[in-house]
Amino acid sequence: MTRFARQHPVTSYIILTLAWSFFWWGLILTVTPAGTLLVEPMKPAAFVFMMIGLIGPTFATLILTRTIYGKGSLRALYGRLGMWRIGLWSVVTLIPLLINLVQLGAYGLLGGDNTIDFAARLPMGLMFGFSASLLEEFGWRGFMLPHLQKHHSPFVSALIVGLVWGGIWHGFADFIGISQEGATKVALIILLGPALLTAYSVMLTALYNGTKGSMLAVVIFHFFISFSGAVLEIPFVNDGERVTWSVVGVALAWIVALGLAFRAGMFARTPVLQARTA
């Protein structure tokens, strides 16, 4: 295993992450049907399986970082959570929050009822924000991204991470969690997974490289993805509205992502920050 992990770190990471998460998330389907996970009151067993499955990226990172880089590597990796001097990049961490605020405001301006019970949504938003950001980012950006950037441009690396993160890993989670059925469910899985999260992956890559590998920066960005997505979600009247505004959100995210990618020079194959884990 050690030799394979050292020769194929990205493949090893993907296999371990998906195996762990999919096993535990698959157990959710033994206690509640797909699409009912978030129906209140959530079944305790389903919640436990969901949270354990969320550990997948961290599980893979802990094993592979220690295996490939040896003693002291995990301390070096998690020490980058203390890189808080990020200057103007701190504004970039707020982009997911701003995108969701723009959507919510636009929905209201076009005649929709955008009244939200923030107090009721806040606990779930904080839980998802902290758990998702801290349990995912040390895998996707802390391990997978820097290894990809040894061989690919930042933009291509961001696309690969985004498609695995949003298309495969998050896709299965969305299959379990999204309540809609049929074509609507498929559309939402694609829009909220690979379409949206790959755009965010581009932004996160620019942020990661621009801050010289600050894990604090990417954790904060990811926090706002999950937090604002839960707290500021538009109170849609029907499934058609949800799909339509999901398309709007994806379009906004890609406009920002491509602009940031051009600004950060992500299309050039230039030396970038390597995996600083030892």
pLDDT value of position 268? 83
Nearest to 80 by CA among 127, 19, 141, 27: 141
Q: What is the pLDDT of residues 128-153, one digit of tens each?
A: 999 999 999 999 999 999 999 999 99
8 A C-beta contact, residue 112 and residue 234: yes
Mean of the per-residue pLDDT values of the chain: 94
Q: What is the pTM of this model?
A: 0.94
8 A C-beta contact, residue 132 and residue 222: yes
8 A C-beta contact, residue 266 and residue 134: no
Residue 275 confidence (pLDDT) above 60: no
| Nearest-10 Cα torsion for 151, 261, 249, 32 | 20
Residue 277 confidence (pLDDT) above 50: no
Higher pLDDT among residues 124 and 71, named by residue: 124
Which two three-digit tokens encode residue 182?
A: 């049929």
Q: What is the pLDDT of residues 66-116, one digit of tens each?
A: 999 998 899 999 999 999 999 999 999 999 999 999 999 999 999 999 999
8 A C-beta contact, residue 80 and residue 276: yes
Region 26-49: mean pLDDT is: 92
Residue 185 confidence (pLDDT) above 60: yes
Position 12 confidence tier, pLDDT thresholds 50, 70, 90: very high
Measure the CA–CA gap between 146 and 164, rounded to whole angstroms: 15
